Amino acid sequence: MRTAFYISDGTAITSEVFGHATLSLFPIEFNHKTIPFVETIEKAHEIKQLINNTAIKEGEKPFVFFTFVNHELADVINSSDALCYDFLTSYSEKIKTELNLEPVPKMHRTHSIHEKSYDFRIDAVNYALMNDDGGNIKNFSEADIILIGVSRSGKTPSSLYLALQYGIKAANYPITEEDLDSEGLPTCLLPYKNKLFGLTIDPQRLADIRQRRMANSKYASIRQCRIEVKEVEMLYKKHNIKYFNSTHHSVEEISAKIIVDGNLQRRKYV
């Protein structure tokens, strides 16, 4: 298995995201190694040795994706026995030419605490936790979005991801069997219909998830799951509520869809 390193003098999140996205285009498996906070020449040489040892052991050059503000650190890694890709330099040089402006390197700037966005995210996470699963409907007026759906359709992880990554206040509310029998929206949701976003899921996938929680119960039966999914989708259509099928999508993809369709403001870099 080919090894891929993601290295940075910061969190290595940028090199990891770019590297993973690039390698995902190729239908083979990689051994992924992420190494953050390579901030000194000594540490860079240590990582270079690790890369070289990997090349010797595997008989193939590893892939190395890196982002360094300090060019001396980049030079050390570039001299290793690997296929190296420097994302920051590749793009910053082109942008420098376009803007006719020299970049001002500063370590940890990319993922450092931006006071406003950090506060947004902390507040949003607290909000998501307090308003999970319909636990506190009094605060729905503060919500940027209210996720609804049957139990275990992905509401809670999506709410928390929206909060943590983008500072979006996302409440969530479960649509129960009783709600579906009434064929109407729960009364507490009616004043906030413009904030509602529905999630749905493949019945078999839903049954598998519920089996892990309450095995051999009516709640987890494929029949019950089919009924609930069919009826909740009818509810969405009846009330013109936008919805998304979460079955084959990651929480990142689900959240991106919610942001676009809900016309929500990302608060990541403000």
Model pLDDT for residues 34-65, shown as the tens digit of each residue: 999 999 999 999 999 999 999 999 999 999 99
Residues 61 and 154 in one domain: no
Query: Residue 14 and residue 17: Cα distance in Å, rounded?
Result: 5
Strands across the sheet with 83-86, in order? 30-35, 2-8, 63-67, 83-86
pLDDT band at 269 (very low <50, low <70, confident <90, very high): low
pLDDT band at 128 (very low <50, low <70, confident <90, very high): very high
Where among 69, 99, 129 does a domain terminate? 99
Q: What's the CATH number where 52 sits?
A: 3.40.50
Residues 137 and 165 in one domain: yes
pLDDT digits (tens, 9 = 90+) for 158-185: 999 999 989 999 999 999 988 998 878 9
Query: Residue 165 and residue 190: Cα distance in Å, rounded?
Result: 28
User: Is the CA virtual torsion 75, 77, 80, 82 positive or negative?
Assistant: negative
- Residue 109 forms part of a structural domain: no
The mean per-residue pLDDT over the stretch 75-102 comes to 86
- Residue 81 forms part of a structural domain: yes
Residues 247 and 128 in one domain: yes
pLDDT at 70: 87
Residues 78 and 154 in one domain: no
Residues 145 and 40 in one domain: no
Residues 142 and 248 in one domain: yes
The mean per-residue pLDDT over the stretch 239-254 comes to 95
Where among 99, 131, 165 does a domain terminate? 99
CB 232 within 8 A of CB 172: no
Residues 25 and 57 in one domain: yes
- Residue 228 forms part of a structural domain: yes
Residues 119 and 190 in one domain: yes
Residue found under tokens 């920051």:
88
pLDDT at 250: 92
Residue 110: phi and psi, rounded to 5, are: -60, -45
pLDDT at 59: 96
- Residue 79 forms part of a structural domain: yes
CB 31 within 8 A of CB 3: yes
Domain ranges, residue 75:
2-99
Greater confidence (13 vs 83) lies with: 83
pLDDT digits (tens, 9 = 90+) for 182-201: 878 999 999 999 999 999 99
- Residue 106 forms part of a structural domain: no
Domain count within the chain: 2
pLDDT at 106: 59
CB 241 within 8 A of CB 196: yes
Long-range contacts of 24-28 (CB under 8 A, 24+ apart): 28/2
Long-range contacts of 50-59 (CB under 8 A, 24+ apart): 51/5, 51/77, 51/80, 51/81, 51/82, 52/80, 52/81, 52/82, 54/3, 54/5, 55/80, 55/81, 55/82, 56/81, 58/2, 58/3
Residue 97: phi and psi, rounded to 5, are: -65, -45
pLDDT digits (tens, 9 = 90+) for 89-125: 777 777 878 888 877 655 555 544 455 667 888 899 9
Give me the percent of the chain exceeding a pLDDT of 70. Answer: 94
Query: Residue 100 and residue 231: Cα distance in Å, rounded?
Result: 58
Residues 175 and 243 in one domain: yes
Residues 91 and 190 in one domain: no
The mean per-residue pLDDT over the stretch 211-219 comes to 94
- Residue 110 forms part of a structural domain: no
- Residue 167 forms part of a structural domain: yes
- Residue 267 forms part of a structural domain: no
Where among 99, 133, 155 does a domain terminate? 99
Residues 9 and 57 in one domain: yes
Residues 58 and 120 in one domain: no
Q: Which two three-digit tokens encode residue 105?
A: 């390197």
